[in-house]
A and B are shown apart, each in its own frame.
Chain A
Amino acid sequence: MAQDGGRAAEGRWTRLFAPHLDAAFRLARWLTGSRAEAEDVVQEACLRAWRATGPEPASPRAWLLAITRNAAWTRLSRTGAGNVVSLEEAARELDRAAAALPGAEALVAARERSAVLRQALAALPAPLREAVVLRDIEDLSYREIAAVLDLPIGTVMSRLARGRRRLRDMLAKEAADARDAG
C-alpha cells in the first residue's frame, strides 16, 4: 500500500512539478543570490511538493514557485542573509557561459550588457525583484503572480512598473558611466 502511494506520488511529481524545476531554481537563485542556497531551497520546496496531497493545482508551476518562494524567505530570515548577490559568482557564471561562445568585440559588449542587467536585477529591492522575476523571466500572469506573492493584483502591477522603471534607470546610468569612462 505504501509502495503504491509512493509510486502515485512519484508519478504526480514527474507529471506536475518536475518540468518546473528550472523555474524554481531560477527564482530561488534570484531571491537568495547564491546557487548553493538556491539548491537547498529548491530541495526543501520539492520535498514539500512531493508530500502534499489534495487536489491538483490548476497551475503547478505557480504552485511550485509559491512554495519555493516561501522556502527561500524562511531560509533567509533564519540566516539573516539574502538580498545580496555575490558579484564574484555572477562573474564566474558569465565567464562559464561566454567560454562556450565564439569571441568577437561585439560579444564582449553583449556580455558586459548582460552582466550589467544581472547586477541591476540583483540590486533591485526584493519585493520589486520577485515581481519582475516572476513576470519577465518566469512569464507568469498577473493573476498567478498575485497568488504566488499573496498580494492584490493592483500591488503586483505597481511593483512591476516600479521595478522595471528602476532597472531602466540603473541600466541608463551604467550606460552613461561607461560612455564617460570611454
Chain B
Amino acid sequence: MRATPADCGRFADLLDALADEELAPGMAAALRDHLAACPACAAEAAAIGALRAELATLRDEAAPEALRQRLAAMLRDDAPTTATPDRRRLLALTAAGVGGIAIGAGGFGLLHDSRPETIAHDLLTAHARALLAGAPPQIASGNTHQVRPWLSAHLPVAPRVPETEDFPLLGARLDLIGRRPAAAILYRRRAHAITVFATAEDLAQDWPSRPMTRNGFQLLPWVADGIRYVAVSDLNPGELAMLAERIRAPGP
C-alpha cells in the first residue's frame, strides 16, 4: 500500500489515540498499515511513544510518609457524616466509571475501550516501529558504562548490557511495554537489528516466558538476577540464543 499525503493528514490526529490504545480495532489496523508505508508518520508515532515512556518514569514519586501518618491519625478521629456537597458530582463520576454513559463521545465512534494487547504484541510493535522510524536511540553508545547507568537512572532495574564482539551494542531507549516503562537495549548482528527488552521480574508477570515466533520475528525470553529479558529480532533462533548467552554470562 502506498501512502499519500492525504492519508497523513487524515491519520496525524489519531497517532496519540493509537499510542494510547484507544482506537477501535478497525481504525487502529488501518493506521498501522499506513505507518508501515509512511516513514514520516512512523517517526512521529515513535516520538510519541518515546515521550510516553519518559513520562511514565515520573510515576515513581510517592506520597511522603509523614502525610500517610497524618492522614491515618486524622481519619481515625473523624466520624463519617452524611452527604457532602460533592455528592452529586461524585455520583455522576460513579456512573461514568461504570461505563454506562457516553461522555460527550459523539463523533468518536472510532474510540474503543478495550485496552489489553498482549505483551508479545507490544514487544514486536516496539521493535518494529523503532526500526521503521530509523530514529537514533535515546542513548546512542556502544559503551556498557554509559548505557547501563542511563537505564538505571530511568528504571528501577539495571539490566546487563555487555559489549560483545559478535553483536555490537548500539545503545538503548525506554519503551512502554504493557503500559509500563521498560529498557529496550539495541544490538546488531550483520544487517539484523536486535532489541533486548528488560524489566523487573515482578513487573513482568504477563511477559512471554517461552520462546515464540510471530510474523517472522523471534521472541526469546529469560530471567537473570530478578530481571526479565526478552530478545526480539528477525535473526535466526540459534544466533539470537548466542546473544542471550553473552548477556547472561558476559565473556571472560
Q: Are A54 and B90 in contact (CB under 8 A)?
A: yes
> Binary interface profile of B, 104-128, with partner A (CB < 8 Å = 1, else 0)?
1111100101010000000000000
Residue of A nearest to B53 (CB): A136
Which of A47, A54, A101, A109 lies in contact with B74, CB distance below 8 A?
A47
Total interface residues on B, CB under 8 Å, equals: 67
Q: Which of B145-153, B194-202, B240-248 contacts A (4 or more CB under 8 A)?
A: B145-153
Contacts of B16 in A (CB 8 A): 157, 160-161, 164
How far is B80's CA from A117's CA once the two chains are assembled, in angstroms? Answer: 41
A58 in contact (CB, < 8 A): yes
Interface of A is mostly: helix
How far is B64's CA from A55's CA once the two chains are assembled, in angstroms? Answer: 30
How far is B57's CA from A121's CA once the two chains are assembled, in angstroms? Answer: 13
Contacts A21-B71, A106-B146; A50 near B58 (Cβ below 8 A): no
- The A-B contact count (CB < 8 A) is 206
Q: Are B153 and A110 in contact (CB under 8 A)?
A: yes
Residue of A nearest to B61 (CB): A26
Contacts A48-B84, A154-B105; A62 near B90 (Cβ below 8 A): no
B1 in contact (CB, < 8 A): no
Interface residues on A, range: 35 or more
Contacts A58-B97, A111-B153; A137 near B59 (Cβ below 8 A): yes
Contacts A5-B80, A50-B80, A55-B91; A104 near B70 (Cβ below 8 A): no
Selected A-B contacts with CB under 8 Å, 15 pairs: A21-B71, A43-B71, A48-B86, A53-B80, A57-B93, A58-B94, A66-B89, A66-B90, A107-B152, A137-B58, A147-B96, A154-B105, A164-B51, A164-B52, A167-B55
A interface vs B, CB < 8 Å? 2, 5-6, 8-10, 13, 21-22, 24-26, 29, 35, 39, 42-43, 46-48, 50-59, 62-63, 66-67, 70, 98, 101-102, 104-107, 109-111, 113-114, 117-118, 121, 132, 135-139, 141-144, 146-148, 150-155, 157, 160-161, 164, 167-168, 171
